[in-house]
């Protein structure tokens, strides 16, 4: 099966999907000897390991938790005899960061990048009505051509250690569901939709890509009722009296795409789709033509025990908390999340800024601090020997992210980088390639942005002209002039904002990060930094600044919940800027946000 497809697996009259999630077997391979020793067929010694999950936090010894290098997963899967004649594939939601896949000892595919799905075609290798062997050789080392970027060092005891240039734990493993699929030989590989509204009706321009020549048709159902039909690989679906998808008021139609050969259905693919428009106009974000002020979070896929592994229970709790607090938006900082999260956003009416894992583009483990304090090495990140390879990997991740997520009503914008070092000459060429690419491949032409690091100002950030809206990560009152200095922080913040007002040229600005580390255990009157009282004072100051600039059209606080990072003097067993704890209970600031976000009008500052 050569035909790449990023469609989410679905069952239909023509397709079968079986989950391979469960307890697999696992082994570390510090010498990288597994392939030579035949581990592709069977692991000689293994332990049990749940899939999906990060392997790290199950262990009770530090060497295992912090393990860096090659590691193996294996399981068996049964292929039903009635699937003969179909194309068979194993689909991984993600494996972090590199993966080589072996079925019955034969290498079937390899994949770079830990946050996007890939398929392994196994039709010619599987044995029918029998169990087959599946082995995954993965690796979690970091380097500077990767997304996210970092490096790998070797300790004096010979063990490798990951050195992330980013502020989240380098969790690794099979993080997302694994599925066995039986697909028709001639099938739908991809499809896209672009919505436009006229009066009470909608037109959905669609394109379907298949690997054959048989006829294609698309039906749209509202519950059991068929509301639109069109023939051909591209066309327009007209929906009368359309019920639009909206914030906190989602509505999804069922799209069914069929390939037919006379009366025979060759393939059938289903997806639920919300109909809405999204654009930037006159400095506002317009959803279905109406202004919306963004409020919400930068998040992480991060939780106790399972690390970054998909856990639907945590996903559900997170959405309940986001509804309770009055949020309407989040950024998938700092990587594309599991597909199930976007499906939930579509169901629940949340707006998503989708971020590619371009983080750590600066030579320092604490890149965001070094940059803001001028300690970042002065080597331009985009003029290094590694830059051409990095750009290729960045393009590949961007293409897969957009192709994977382009039909979600919830996805309103693409975030193309987080806090790159963007003051050197190579920045513009690098940025232009990626911003142009995003526009070229997204049929809906969603706005593009990137999160701009502290001290990257309109006059020294070389890439900001490519952004359709400006996204700032700012920590005035935390990293910059915290505690008693907060008065000076506010003055400096306002000076910076005055500067931006001259550089926006009609574009809206949002905050993609602002926040203060806060220990849920600490209370102090009057406040000190790290106390819950200080978190609220910090937020009051920041919100006062946002409220006095009409071009600020959104606020995504850092972070939704406390999350794990690499250990170090800046972090208390992780980053504590959560508005909720890692266990998803509120800090005092959560009530502060609930009061603010539930009272700000949906279209706050729309007429300004
Ligand atoms: C922080 N600041 O210091 C955050 C990081 C984040 O966790 C940043 O984008 O600028 C980064 O990853 O808490």
**Distance (Å, rounded) from C-alpha 44 to C-alpha 352?**
44
Distance 426 CA to ligand 1 centre (A): 24
Give the three-class secondary structure for 599: helix
Q: Whose CA is nearest to atom 7 of ligand 1?
A: 167
Q: Model pTM? A: 0.97
Of the candidates 246, 43, 220, the one whose C-alpha atom is nearest the C-alpha of residue 137 is 43
- 371-380 average pLDDT score: 54
Q: Does 473 contact ligand 1 (Cβ within 6 A)?
A: yes
Give the three-class secondary structure for 172: coil
Name 39's Cβ contacts closer than 8 Å, sequence gap at least 6.
27, 29, 72, 135, 137
Continuous segment of H or E residues that includes residue 18: strand 16-19
In ligand 1, the atom with minimum distance to the C-alpha of 453 is 10
User: If pLDDT is split at 50, 70 and 90, which confidence band does 3 have?
Assistant: confident
CB 174 within 8 A of CB 115: no
Is 419 among the catalytic positions?
Answer: yes
Per-residue pLDDT at 372 exceeds 70: no
**Distance (Å, rounded) from C-alpha 14 to C-alpha 537?**
58
Of the candidates 404, 412, 397, 444, the one whose C-alpha atom is nearest the C-alpha of residue 330 is 412
Q: Whose CA is nearest to atom 11 of ligand 1?
A: 368
Backbone angles phi, psi at 290, to 5 degrees: -115, 140
Give the three-class secondary structure for 435: helix
* Locus of tokens 């905050």: 511
User: If pLDDT is split at 50, 70 and 90, which confidence band does 135 have?
Assistant: very high
Q: Does 167 contact ligand 1 (Cβ within 6 A)?
A: yes
Determine which one of 141, 271, 513, 555 is catalytic: 513
Q: What is the pLDDT of residues 180-193, one digit of tens each?
A: 999 999 999 999 99
Report H helices in 461-531: 486-501
Instruction: Delimit the CATH 2.60.120.260 region(s) of the chain.
Output: 16-183
C-alpha dihedral sign at 319, 323, 324, 328: positive
Q: Does 418 contact ligand 1 (Cβ within 6 A)?
A: yes
Q: What is the pLDDT of residues 275-332, one digit of tens each?
A: 999 999 999 999 999 999 999 999 999 999 999 999 999 999 999 999 999 999 999 9
CB 114 within 8 A of CB 393: no
User: Which of 368, 453, 454 is the best mutation target for the ligand 1 pocket, counting ligand atoms within 8 Å of the beta carbon and taking the most?
Assistant: 368
Q: Whose CA is nearest to atom 4 of ligand 1?
A: 167
In this prediction, residue 601 carries a pLDDT of: 98
In this prediction, residue 461 carries a pLDDT of: 83
In this prediction, what percent of the chain has a pLDDT beyond 90? 93
Distance 368 CA to ligand 1 centre (A): 6
* Locus of tokens 């899939």: 51
User: If pLDDT is split at 50, 70 and 90, which confidence band does 364 have?
Assistant: low
Q: Does 517 contact ligand 1 (Cβ within 6 A)?
A: no
C-alpha dihedral sign at 267, 270, 274, 279: negative
Q: Does 419 contact ligand 1 (Cβ within 6 A)?
A: yes
Q: Whose CA is nearest to atom 2 of ligand 1?
A: 368
Q: Where are the beta strands (DSSP E) in 82-200?
A: 87-92, 95-96, 98-103, 106-112, 118-121, 130-139, 150-154, 160-164, 173-174, 178-183, 188-198
Distance 67 CA to ligand 1 centre (A): 24
Per-residue pLDDT at 544 exceeds 50: yes
**Distance (Å, rounded) from C-alpha 269 to C-alpha 281?**
35
Distance 161 CA to ligand 1 centre (A): 21
User: If pLDDT is split at 50, 70 and 90, which confidence band does 370 have?
Assistant: low
* Locus of tokens 């856990």: 311
CB 493 within 8 A of CB 502: no
Give the three-class secondary structure for 535: helix
In CATH terms, 16-183 corresponds, of 3.40.50.970, 3.90.640.10, 2.60.120.260, 2.60.40.790, to: 2.60.120.260
CB 225 within 8 A of CB 243: no
CB 220 within 8 A of CB 241: no
Structure token digits, residue 331? 């950024």
In ligand 1, the atom with minimum distance to the C-alpha of 454 is 10
Give the three-class secondary structure for 329: strand
User: CB burial class (10 A; 0-12, 13-18, 19+) of residue 487?
Assistant: exposed
In this prediction, residue 366 carries a pLDDT of: 54
User: Which of 297, 369, 513, 574 is the best mutation target for the ligand 1 pocket, counting ligand atoms within 8 Å of the beta carbon and taking the most?
Assistant: 513
Q: What is the pLDDT of residues 457-511, one digit of tens each?
A: 888 888 999 999 999 999 999 999 999 999 999 999 999 999 999 999 999 999 9
Q: What is the pLDDT of residues 505-540, one digit of tens each?
A: 999 999 999 999 999 999 999 999 999 999 999 999
**Distance (Å, rounded) from C-alpha 510 to C-alpha 557?**
10
Instruction: Delimit the CATH 2.60.40.10 region(s) of the chain.
Output: 188-276
* Edge-to-edge strand ranges of the sheet holding 234-239: 188-198, 201-210, 234-239
In this prediction, residue 57 carries a pLDDT of: 98
Distance 188 CA to ligand 1 centre (A): 40
Ramachandran area for residue 342 (φ above 0: left; ψ -120 to 50: alpha; else beta): alpha
CB 419 within 8 A of CB 359: yes
In ligand 1, the atom with minimum distance to the C-alpha of 575 is 13
Instruction: Delimit the CATH 3.20.20.80 region(s) of the chain.
Output: 279-597
Give the HSE-up count for residue 297: Cα atoms under 13 Å, Cβ half-sphere. Answer: 23
CB 38 within 8 A of CB 107: no
- 399-409 average pLDDT score: 98
Distance 179 CA to ligand 1 centre (A): 34
- 238-259 average pLDDT score: 98
User: Which of 476, 575, 582 is the best mutation target for the ligand 1 pocket, counting ligand atoms within 8 Å of the beta carbon and taking the most?
Assistant: 575
Give the three-class secondary structure for 588: helix
User: Which of 450, 453, 473, 562 is the best mutation target for the ligand 1 pocket, counting ligand atoms within 8 Å of the beta carbon and taking the most?
Assistant: 473
Average predicted confidence (pLDDT) for the chain: 96
Q: What is the pLDDT of residues 62-121, one digit of tens each?
A: 999 999 999 999 999 999 999 999 999 999 999 999 999 999 999 999 999 999 999 999
CA distances from 144 to 362, 385, 389, 535, 602 (A): 9, 10, 9, 35, 42
Distance 279 CA to ligand 1 centre (A): 28
Structure token digits, residue 484? 């008693």
CA distances from 180 to 16, 21, 122, 269 (A): 8, 10, 10, 16
Q: Report DSSP letters for 136-149, one per residue.
A: EEEE----TTSSS-
In this prediction, residue 1 carries a pLDDT of: 44
Distance 3 CA to ligand 1 centre (A): 38
User: Which of 369, 535, 558 is the best mutation target for the ligand 1 pocket, counting ligand atoms within 8 Å of the beta carbon and taking the most?
Assistant: 558
Give the other-Cβ count within 10 Å of 285's Cβ: 25
**Distance (Å, rounded) from C-alpha 53 to C-alpha 72?**
14
Distance 546 CA to ligand 1 centre (A): 19
In this prediction, residue 367 carries a pLDDT of: 56
Q: Whose CA is nearest to atom 5 of ligand 1?
A: 167
Of the candidates 274, 265, 328, 299, the one whose C-alpha atom is nearest the C-alpha of residue 601 is 328
Q: What is the pLDDT of residues 323-335, one digit of tens each?
A: 999 999 999 999 9
Q: Does 577 contact ligand 1 (Cβ within 6 A)?
A: yes
Backbone angles phi, psi at 295, to 5 degrees: -145, 130
**Distance (Å, rounded) from C-alpha 565 to C-alpha 574?**
5
Name 62's Cβ contacts closer than 8 Å, sequence gap at least 6.
none
Structure token digits, residue 71? 């590691």
In this prediction, residue 2 carries a pLDDT of: 57
In this prediction, what percent of the chain has a pLDDT beyond 70? 97
* The CATH number of domain 188-276 is 2.60.40.10: yes
Q: Quote the radius of gyration of the chain (alpha carbons, Å).
A: 24
In ligand 1, the atom with minimum distance to the C-alpha of 333 is 12
Ramachandran area for residue 293 (φ above 0: left; ψ -120 to 50: alpha; else beta): beta
In this prediction, residue 424 carries a pLDDT of: 82
Of the candidates 497, 479, 487, 471, the one whose C-alpha atom is nearest the C-alpha of residue 419 is 471
Determine which one of 141, 271, 419, 555 is catalytic: 419
Q: Whose CA is nearest to atom 12 of ligand 1?
A: 167
Name 411's Cβ contacts closer than 8 Å, sequence gap at least 6.
342, 345, 352, 354, 405, 446
**Distance (Å, rounded) from C-alpha 509 to C-alpha 448?**
12
In ligand 1, the atom with minimum distance to the C-alpha of 563 is 7
In CATH terms, 279-597 corresponds, of 3.30.559.10, 2.40.50.100, 3.20.20.80, 3.40.50.1000, to: 3.20.20.80
């Amino acid at each position: 099966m050569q035909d790449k497809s990023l469609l989410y697996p679905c069952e239909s009259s023509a397709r079968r999907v079986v989950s391979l999630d469960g307890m697999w077997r696992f082994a570390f391979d510090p010498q990288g000897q597994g392939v030579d020793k035949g581990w592709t067929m069977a692991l000689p010694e293994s332990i049990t390991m749940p899939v999906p999950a990060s392997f790290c936090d199950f262990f009770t010894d530090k060497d295992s938790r912090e393990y860096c290098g090659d590691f193996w997963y294996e399981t068996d899967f049964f292929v039903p005899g009635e699937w003969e004649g179909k194309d068979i594939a194993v689909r991984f939601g993600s494996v972090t960061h590199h993966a080589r896949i072996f079925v019955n000892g034969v290498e079937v595919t390899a994949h770079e990048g830990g946050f996007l799905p890939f398929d392994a075609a196994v039709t010619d290798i599987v044995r029918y009505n029998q169990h087959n062997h599946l082995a995954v050789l993965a690796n979690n080392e970091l380097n500077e051509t990767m997304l996210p970027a970092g490096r790998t060092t070797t300790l004096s005891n010979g063990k490798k250690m990951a050195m992330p240039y980013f502020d989240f734990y380098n969790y690794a493993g099979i993080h997302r569901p694994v599925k066995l699929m039986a697909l028709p030989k001639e099938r739908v590989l991809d499809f896209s939709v672009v919505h436009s509204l006229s009066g009470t009706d909608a037109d959905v321009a669609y394109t379907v890509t298949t690997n054959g020549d048989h006829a294609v048709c698309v039906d749209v159902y509202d519950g059991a009722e068929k509301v639109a039909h069109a023939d051909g690989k591209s066309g327009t679906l007209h929906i009368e009296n359309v019920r639009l998808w909206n914030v906190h008021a989602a509505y999804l139609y069922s799209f069914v795409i069929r390939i037919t050969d006379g009366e025979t259905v060759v393939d059938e693919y289903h997806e639920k789709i919300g109909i809405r428009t999204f654009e930037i106009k006159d400095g506002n974000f317009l959803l279905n033509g109406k202004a919306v002020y963004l409020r919400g979070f930068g998040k992480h896929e991060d939780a106790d025990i399972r690390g970054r592994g998909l856990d639907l229970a945590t996903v559900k709790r997170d959405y309940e908390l986001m509804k309770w607090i009055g949020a309407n938006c989040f950024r998938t900082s700092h990587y594309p999340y599991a597909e199930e999260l976007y499906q939930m956003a579509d169901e629940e009416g949340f707006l998503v800024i989708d971020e590619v894992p371009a983080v750590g583009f600066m030579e320092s483990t604490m890149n965001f601090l070094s940059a803001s304090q001028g300690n970042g090495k002065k080597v331009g990140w985009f003029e290094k020997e590694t830059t051409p390879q990095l750009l290729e990997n960045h393009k590949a991740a961007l293409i897969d992210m957009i192709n994977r997520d382009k039909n979600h009503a919830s996805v309103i914008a693409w975030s193309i980088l987080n806090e790159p070092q963007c003051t050197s000459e190579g920045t513009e060429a690098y940025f232009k390639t990626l911003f142009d690419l995003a526009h070229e491949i997204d049929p809906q032409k969603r706005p593009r942005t990137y999160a701009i690091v502290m001290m990257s100002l309109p006059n020294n950030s070389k890439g900001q002209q490519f952004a359709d809206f400006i996204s700032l990560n700012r920590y005035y009152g935390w990293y910059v002039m915290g505690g008693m200095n907060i008065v000076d922080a506010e003055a400096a913040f306002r000076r910076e904002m005055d500067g931006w007002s001259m550089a926006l040229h009609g574009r809206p600005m949002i905050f993609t990060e602002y926040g203060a580390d806060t220990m849920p255990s600490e209370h102090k009157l009057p406040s000190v930094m790290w106390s819950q009282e200080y978190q609220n004072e910090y937020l009051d100051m920041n919100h006062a600044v946002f409220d006095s600039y009409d071009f600020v059209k959104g606020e995504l606080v850092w972070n939704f919940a406390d999350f794990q990072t690499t250990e170090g003097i800046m972090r208390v067993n992780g980053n504590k800027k959560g508005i909720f704890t890692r266990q998803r209970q509120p800090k005092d600031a959560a009530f502060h946000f609930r009061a603010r976000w539930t009272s700000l009008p949906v279209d706050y500052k729309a007429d300004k």
